[in-house]
Amino acid sequence: TTYNIASIPGDGIGVDVTEAAEAVLNKLAETVGTFKFNFTTFDWSSKKYLERGWYMPEDGMQQLSKYDAIYFGAVGSPDVPDHISLWGLILPIRKYNNQYVNVRPTRVLPGTVAPLAQCQKRPQDIDWMIIRENSEGEYAGQGGTTHENSPDTIATEVAIFTRVGIERIMRFAFETAKSRPRKKLTMVTKSNAQRHGMVLWDKVFHEVAKEYEGVVEWDKMLVDAMTVRMVNKPESVDTIVATNLHADILSDLAAALAGSIGIAPSANLDPTRKYPSMFEPIHGSAPDIAGQGIANPVGAFWSAAEMVRWVGQGKLDKVADDFMQAIENVTSNPKTRTKDMGGSANTKETTEAVIKQIDVV
């Protein structure tokens, strides 16, 4: 089998780590021998935007639609306002391709230091799977500005929640929880203060929950209280489902609490598989260290492992697990992990170490 991957390195260290991820994925395919990757690079970046005024060509989405998956580095540049770069590239790709789920696995990888005293003793207390609604809610893009340049300017952000959108993310979240050892799901809202969309979210949740009675154990939290629980009782958390904005915040907090903000992965999935799904490390473009060969490629590798799992449709789960093991072997050794993880390696050395490990595991 050949998997055709649209590769979008984007900006800054996105370029460094995408190159590293491709090398490692090619090695993985070669070692396993039953599949291969065919990467096509799309130079859609802030640099190009500044040259030609657009991030993606008009038929960009059609071009992407031919691929089995999209691999994404990072977007963001000091020379372009963030809302322009993000709405020029990453957000429209998520939306157009029906990637209504954003999955963020969170664990304390060997070699990382979790900042909570409790987790320094018991890193296994953090083992979370965050399911983020990725297509609507607070990121619907609606709203506007009235009386601009007047003392009376008002601007709105309109969060849109649809029954269809809520139902499908809830179902995905319950299925995910069901597939995990502890089979627990926490549903997050702010329905005490936000009484329209958030109340619908509650209502649909309860309907879907009925289908999983006795199978998945669930509870509900307000988003503010959820941050408290993640800090005070991390071991009580398993799978989390939350809106686009709430889960955005909770997943960054999660990565920080796991000591892995620089290495956490994310998967933007279209569970219907009609459109390509997209895999990206959550770290940004880090323009200050771009091109110096020192970026940590582990988030890119972890995201690549999730991509392997996804395109394999169940047939490559073992391969993805072994790949993760190879990555963890590398992060546990200070000689093969990068400086941000207290190690001494550069991007190339870490990449070569993972390539070597792939032979071993």
Residue numbers of the site for ligand IPM (CB under 6 A)?
86, 192-193, 224, 248, 282
Q: Label residues 26-52 b or e (16+ Cβ within 10 Å = b).
A: ebbbeebeebebebeebebbbbbbeee
Tell which one of 91, 209, 289, 361 touches a copy of itself (CB under 8 A): 91
Q: Is 195 in the site for a copy of itself (CB under 8 A)?
A: yes
Q: Judged by CB, which is closer to a copy of itself: 57, or 115?
A: 115
Tokens of residue 300, six digits: 């890119």
> For residue 177, what are the contacts with CB-CB under 8 A and spacing of at least 6?
129, 183, 184, 185, 212, 216, 218, 238, 239
Q: Is 65 in the site for a copy of itself (CB under 8 A)?
A: no
* H-helix or E-strand spanning residue 30: helix 13-32
- Binding partner selected for residue 159 from ligand IPM, a copy of itself, none, CB under the kind-specific 5 to 8 Å limit: a copy of itself
Q: Judged by CB, which is closer to a copy of itself: 143, or 291?
A: 143
> For residue 82, what are the contacts with CB-CB under 8 A and spacing of at least 6?
76
- Binding partner selected for residue 361 from ligand IPM, a copy of itself, none, CB under the kind-specific 5 to 8 Å limit: none
Please state the closest distance from residue 227 (CB atom) to ligand IPM, in A: 11
- Binding partner selected for residue 138 from ligand IPM, a copy of itself, none, CB under the kind-specific 5 to 8 Å limit: a copy of itself
Order of all β-strands in the sheet with 101-107: 36-41, 2-10, 69-74, 277-281, 265-269, 101-107, 127-133, 239-242, 184-189, 217-222
Please state the closest distance from residue 83 (CB atom) to a copy of itself, in A: 4
Please state the closest distance from residue 43 (CB atom) to a copy of itself, in A: 22
Do 229 and 128 touch, CB atoms closer than 8 A?
no
Please spell the DSSP secondary structure of 78-96, one letter per residue.
TTB-HHHHHHHTHHHHHHH
Q: Judged by CB, which is closer to a copy of itself: 7, or 338?
A: 338
Q: What is the dihedral of CA 18, 21, 27, 31, to 10 degrees?
A: -140
Binding residues among 196-255 for a copy of itself as defined by CB under 8 A: 196-200, 223-225, 227-228, 231-232, 245-246, 248-249, 251-253, 255
* H-helix or E-strand spanning residue 298: helix 298-312
**Three-state DSSP class for 98?**
coil
Residue 316 gets which letter from DSSP? T
Please spell the DSSP secondary structure of 323-348, one letter per residue.
HHHHHHHHHTSTTTSBGGGT--B-HH
Q: Judged by CB, which is closer to ligand IPM: 68, or 248?
A: 248
Please state the closest distance from residue 244 (CB atom) to a copy of itself, in A: 8
Please state the closest distance from residue 143 (CB atom) to ligand IPM, in A: 16
> For residue 238, what are the contacts with CB-CB under 8 A and spacing of at least 6?
127, 128, 129, 177, 180, 182, 183, 184, 185, 186
Please state the closest distance from residue 281 (CB atom) to ligand IPM, in A: 10
Q: Judged by CB, which is closer to ligand IPM: 40, or 192?
A: 192
Please state the closest distance from residue 346 (CB atom) to ligand IPM, in A: 26
> For residue 336, what are the contacts with CB-CB under 8 A and spacing of at least 6?
330, 343, 345, 349, 350, 353
Q: Is 138 in the site for a copy of itself (CB under 8 A)?
A: yes
Please state the closest distance from residue 102 (CB atom) to a copy of itself, in A: 12
- Binding partner selected for residue 205 from ligand IPM, a copy of itself, none, CB under the kind-specific 5 to 8 Å limit: none
- Binding partner selected for residue 120 from a copy of itself, ligand IPM, none, CB under the kind-specific 5 to 8 Å limit: a copy of itself
Q: Is 182 in the site for a copy of itself (CB under 8 A)?
A: no
Please state the closest distance from residue 63 (CB atom) to a copy of itself, in A: 24
Give residues in contact with a copy of itself (CB under 8 A): 76, 82-83, 86-87, 91, 115-118, 120, 138-139, 141, 143-145, 150-164, 190-200, 223-225, 227-228, 231-232, 245-246, 248-249, 251-253, 255-257, 261
